[in-house]
Amino acid sequence: MLPWGRALRAAGLLRSAGAAAAAQCGAARRERCGPGPGKRRGTKLPAGPDLRHFLRGAAKREPPPEPEPGPVPSSGRVYLETYGCQMNVNDTEIAWAILQKSGYTRTKQLDEADVILLVTCSIREKAEQAIWNRLRHLSALKARRQQQAGSPLRIGILGCMAERLKEEILHREKLVDIVAGPDAYRDLPRLLAVAESGQQAANVLLSLDETYADILPVQTSAGGTTAFVSIMRGCDNMCSYCIVPFTRGRERSRPIASILQEVRMLSDQGVKEVTLLGQNVNSFRDMSEVQFQSAAAPGLSRGFSTVYRAKPGGLRFTHLLDQVSRIDPEMRIRFTSPHPKDFPDEVLQLIQERHNICKQLHLPAQSGSTRVLEAMRRGYTREAYLELVHHVRDSIPGVSLSSDFIAGFCGETEEDHQQTVSLLQDVRYNVGFLFAYSMREKTRAFHRLQDDVPAEVKQRRLQELITVFREEAARANEAMVGQCQLVLVEGPSKRSALELCGRNDGNIKVIFPDAEVEDAAGCQAPARAQPGDYVLVKVTSASSQTLRGVPLRRTTLSRSAAGH
Ligand code: 5AD
Ligand code: SF4
């Protein structure tokens, strides 16, 4: 499951949808906008099908309808707002790429927009609540606009909440014009065309194979230093608390060839860090090449099981990681979010061997109690999880670890909670994302379990977890004081123009003075580091979230790996 940290980092682009008791959130990523505001052309459209037409045919697990031939290109200004995880940031760019091709322009100004699209999240109730509140505000704006200027404003709900609550949204919020699920973004131009004619339009079909492989979303950071590349979508794990399999559908992987093509393109553009993105990245299985369809399934991490039968065939994550990391030796590779069950030795060995694959793993534990893990249907015990942590640390010395935890799951006792506290102490994560349990309809927990931990107890336990996590992370980070860390510079620090901000290999934020530094090769005059430069920084202090240090020299990833 995707952590929210990196997503919250996308602050310029992203509005956090509540809950976010995440103990770690980082620097802002700025929104990239399309060309400036364009003039709206009044396009006469053929009458489209109405809402019922789409909802009735919306049988799940079928391929989405082919978009009707040649939707009439429109030109409106689109304002996109993103809630939730990094996957949604990526989806925003997919939706935008599709609309741009159809003649839309993008605006950062809400009051300039002809179309407002919210890319939504359903993972916790608070996330949805924030979106309902926003919708009410936007609906008022729409009504005002209509009264004052007579110009229609279209509002669309995209993503997980659209999938989960399509009919409720359309009925409760009569002013919503478009509802599009996560697999229906190709249909957006047509849905908008229907909305232009004054009707509501919806497509919430889930797909078995949509990966938007051919749509190259522009998803780089403001400085053009880092980028996200989507490699798979959906989830087959069915953890009992999680709505994701219902909103995002079955697991499917993007063909390797198109992933490699995108990473090559990013490398040519000078991007220095690519994060491979998906709901379960390390369950990647590309079935598009016939000759690999009968390959044996790789083993699971020791002591782990799944609710589904082993899936043989296809090109796996190790192969993808190997190929991606060979593209550019100066490009750092990360991936998120993995599932702890899919860490066979080949993956760990590759991470250890390849100098440009970051030694940083997200191992979402969710709970430290075997009893609760069983109720969550996570497929492992506390002991198996701890064994994996030790194995990972033996295989990749110095690896930085992060995790997700849920406080107050159904039936969680004080003793179970203490087990989670002790897991946090035993593992000492560098980064953590901690949430109070929020019951979601449709999930197994909703049907079979009692949400019996009182809200105030959940909050108290959550606070305790956050406190323990912070103490341990501060200790883990303090151990780096005095060490040299290789930092990829992202840009000026948010707090001071005199400082630069970047990340070390473990994805921890590092701040250091923006001073002239010499070049390790010695062939260039001392200069100030720029976004995209690698700088060796000696760490002088640490907190639970940030390292501070002094820059020693500019260098390269390969030179640093070779110990120069
Ligand atoms: N309540 C609280 N947290 C949840 N998560 C997923 N579903 C829920 C829920 N119903 C958390 C898990 C997951 C992270 C992205 O969100 O920890 O890993
Ligand atoms: Fe992650 Fe489990 Fe939800 Fe899948 S079902 S998205 S693995 S938490």
Let me know: does 439 contact 408? Beta carbons within 8 Å: no
Question: Which ligand is located closest to the Cα atom of residue 376?
Answer: 2
Counting ligand 2 atoms within 8 A of each CB, the residue from 239, 284, 300, 362 with the most, and so the one to mutate, is: 239
Residue range 288-316: average pLDDT?
A: 76
CA 54 to chain centre: 29
| Ligand 2 contacts CB of residue 339 (under 6 A) | yes
| Ligand 1 contacts CB of residue 123 (under 6 A) | yes
- Tell me which range, 67-71, 151-155, 223-227, 398-402, is most confidently predicted by mean pLDDT: 398-402
Ligand 2: distance of its center to the CA of 241 in Å? 8
| Ligand 2 contacts CB of residue 376 (under 6 A) | no
pLDDT at 230 over 70: yes
What residue spans of 156-223 are helical by DSSP H?
A: 160-172, 188-196
Residue range 30-46: average pLDDT?
A: 27
pLDDT at 379 over 70: yes
- Closest CA relative to residue 471, chosen from 545, 413, 531, 419: 545
What pLDDT is stored for residue 308 in this prediction?
74
H or E element that contains 8:
helix 5-8
Ligand 1: distance of its center to the CA of 98 in Å? 30
Identify the residue with better confidence: 65 or 16.
Answer: 65
Q: Tokens 């979010």 sit at which residue?
A: 337
**Cα 131 from Cα 125, distance rounded (Å):** 10
| Ligand 2 contacts CB of residue 19 (under 6 A) | no
Counting ligand 1 atoms within 8 A of each CB, the residue from 126, 429, 435, 442 with the most, and so the one to mutate, is: 435
- Closest CA relative to residue 19, chosen from 130, 114, 113: 130
Reported as a single tens digit per residue, the pLDDT across 395-437 is 999 999 999 999 999 999 999 999 999 999 999 999 999 999 9
Confidence band, pLDDT 50/70/90 cuts, at residue 42 = very low
Let me know: does 159 contact 181? Beta carbons within 8 Å: yes
What pLDDT is stored for residue 37 in this prediction?
26
Residue range 11-16: average pLDDT?
A: 34
**Cα 434 from Cα 228, distance rounded (Å):** 23
pLDDT at 296 over 60: yes
Residue range 218-240: average pLDDT?
A: 86
**Cα 480 from Cα 548, distance rounded (Å):** 10
**Cα 119 from Cα 128, distance rounded (Å):** 11
pLDDT at 195 over 90: yes
**Cα 410 from Cα 28, distance rounded (Å):** 35
Cβ burial, residue 270 (10 Å; 0-12/13-18/19+)? middle
- CA separation, residue 516 to residues 364, 491, 501, 535, 551 (Å): 40, 15, 15, 11, 9
Residue range 43-65: average pLDDT?
A: 36
Identify the residue with better confidence: 88 or 292.
Answer: 88
DSSP character at residue 158 = E
Confidence band, pLDDT 50/70/90 cuts, at residue 1 = very low
DSSP for 352-372 reads HH-TTB-SEEE---B-S-HHH
Average confidence score pLDDT of the chain: 85
Residue range 525-534: average pLDDT?
A: 93
Tokens at 485, concatenated: 């860390």
Residue range 454-458: average pLDDT?
A: 98
Tokens at 386, concatenated: 């701890």
Let me know: does 377 contact 239? Beta carbons within 8 Å: yes
Ligand 2: distance of its center to the CA of 235 in Å? 6
CA 31 to chain centre: 16
What residue spans of 396-483 are helical by DSSP H?
A: 414-427, 444-448, 455-478
Lowest mean pLDDT among 210-224, 383-397, 470-484: 210-224
- Closest CA relative to residue 431, chosen from 493, 506, 357, 500: 506
- Closest CA relative to residue 276, chosen from 332, 347, 218, 210: 332
**Cα 432 from Cα 52, distance rounded (Å):** 44
Reported as a single tens digit per residue, the pLDDT across 309-328 is 777 778 999 999 999 999 99
Reported as a single tens digit per residue, the pLDDT across 469-500 is 999 999 999 999 999 999 999 999 999 999 99
- Residue 232: strand pairing partners: 253
Lowest mean pLDDT among 214-228, 260-274, 403-417, 511-525: 214-228
| Ligand 2 contacts CB of residue 321 (under 6 A) | no
- The pTM for the full model equals 0.86
Let me know: does 12 contact 31? Beta carbons within 8 Å: yes
3-state DSSP assignment of residue 89 = helix
DSSP character at residue 41 = P
| Residue of the CA atom closest to atom 8 of ligand 2 | 1
Cβ burial, residue 479 (10 Å; 0-12/13-18/19+)? exposed
| Ligand 1 contacts CB of residue 266 (under 6 A) | no
3-state DSSP assignment of residue 138 = helix
**Cα 183 from Cα 249, distance rounded (Å):** 9
CA 245 to chain centre: 15
